Amino acid sequence: MINHGFEENKHLLDGKKLFLVCRGSFDRLDIAEYINSLEPVRFSGFTPNPKMEEAAAGVEAFRESGCDTILAVGGGSPIDVAKCIKHYSGTDAPLIAIPTTSGTGSESTHFAVIYENGKKLSVAAPELLPDIVILEPSTLKNVPEYTRKATMLDALCHAIESHWARKATPESKAFAEQAITLLLKNKDAYIANNEEGNAGMMEAANLAGKAINISTTTAAHAMCYKITSLYGFQHGHAAAICLAEVWKHIDAAPGITREEFVSILNELGMKYPVSEDKEKDVEMLAGSVNVQRLSNSPVPFDKDQLADMYRNIVRQK
């Protein structure tokens, strides 16, 4: 259930014993005062790329808390941790999500990302889809500039890849098309941190999340994870530079061309990774991609083709 506006929907939190999953930035939000007045049990013991052991600590904390509702407030990491807490605790407690970035779409998907022994693990189950979502644009006003850009690009990549995906359906394509249209319409106002632009971008990201909830993503996302860890790029930034390369081999998406997409990257100043040993990095990157995750791509890629694409992405120092 998607609800717009915190003030109009804060009653959905009333009367519940809340287990709040958030990071330290939560207290800077306008909505924090009201949520804190409900005296939630807070769990913040996780990193930006959450680990399985951190989620396990959350499960234990939730079981000991006596709470009856899980509330996730934050970007993809807090929402994914909250999903894992619900999943691994085996609870039927409702999960409420309030996203504070517009990009991951995690509030509208039934899967989560967690890292186990340094490797990305995707957890998927019907109960991971939040029961209640509150979209509150004011949560975006303090998002740092780089994160603002990267999360917007993540939403755009979700929509484009969803439309390409072999598992796409008429419903997911409709969500993707709506997301692209709304994102491009609000891009400039969102980057300028305009209230109306923030609201439009939050809706676009939610629609893109609905699209990948059905179709999942394709090659660009499969390629981007090692770039994130190797070069310290945020996820949406890494996905976008991979998508620009993958797009050379795939038909156009509705409402945007590759040239327009690359123009957006340039306009935002999104740089490419620089390596002191390019071939070593290319070999590492190509070997890091789970080939099975490429199966949703409309065009198949083998390891040699992946290496060629990475050579075009990574710059030699």
Longest dimension (CA), the chain: 58
Amino acid letter for position 155: A
The total number of structural domains that make up the chain: 2
Provide the pLDDT for residue 161. 96
Between CA 262 and CA 248 the distance in angstroms is 11
- In a shared domain, residues 56 and 159: no
Please give the chain's pLDDT, 317 residues, in tens: 788 999 999 999 999 999 999 998 899 999 999 999 999 999 999 988 899 999 999 999 999 999 999 999 999 899 999 999 999 999 999 999 999 999 889 999 999 989 888 777 889 999 999 999 999 999 999 999 999 999 999 999 999 999 999 999 999 999 999 999 999 999 999 999 999 999 999 999 999 999 999 999 999 999 998 999 899 999 999 999 999 999 999 987 789 999 999 999 999 999 999 999 999 999 999 999 977 678 999 998 999 999 999 999 999 98
- 184 and 244 fall within a common domain: yes
CA distance 30 to 33: 7
Residue 70 and residue 84 in one domain: yes
Token digits of residue 297: 């791509």
| pLDDT given at position 117 | 82
Residue 317: its pLDDT value, please?
Answer: 82
* 133 and 216 housed in the same domain: no
* Predicted pLDDT of residue 234: 94
Q: Are 100 and 108 in contact (CB under 8 A)?
A: no
Are 303 and 195 in the same domain? yes
Per-state percent for the chain, helix, strand, coil, to nearest 5: 60, 15, 25
Q: Are 128 and 237 in a shared domain?
A: no
Phi first, then psi: give them for residue 280, nearest 5 degrees: -65, -45
**Claim to verify: residue 149 and residue 257 sit in the same structural domain:** yes
Tell me the per-residue pLDDT of 44-96, one tens digit each, with 9 for 90 and over. 999 888 999 999 999 999 999 999 999 999 998 999 999 999 999 999 999 99
Q: Reduced to 3 states, what is the DSSP secondary structure of residue 133?
A: strand
Residues 300 and 152 in one domain: yes
- Give me the phi and psi of 120, to 5 degrees please: -70, 135
How many other C-beta atoms can be found within 10 angstroms of the C-beta atom of residue 125? 12
Q: What is the pLDDT of residue 251?
A: 81
Same-domain status, 188 and 308: yes
What is the β-pairing status of strands 111-116 and 119-124? Answer: antiparallel
**Domain edge (last residue) among 105, 140, 175:** 140
Residues 247 and 304 both lie in one domain: yes
Give the rounded percent of residues in the chain with a pLDDT score beyond 70: 100
> Residue 117 and residue 311: Cα distance in Å, rounded?
28
Residues 123 and 209 in one domain: no
The DSSP bridge pattern shows strands 119-124 and 315-316 to be unpaired
C-alpha 44/C-alpha 41 separation (Å) is 10
85, 112 Cβ separation under 8 angstroms: no
Which amino acid would we find at residue 145? E
| pLDDT at 24 (0 to 100) | 87
* Cα–Cα distance for residue pair 212/204, rounded to 1 Å: 13
Contacts of 74 by beta carbon, 8 Å cutoff, 6+ apart: 21, 22, 23, 25, 26, 99, 100, 101
**pTM given for the model:** 0.94
Q: What is the DSSP letter of 256?
A: B
Q: Which domain holds residue 274?
A: 145-316
**Number of neighbouring beta carbons within 10 Å of residue 192:** 10
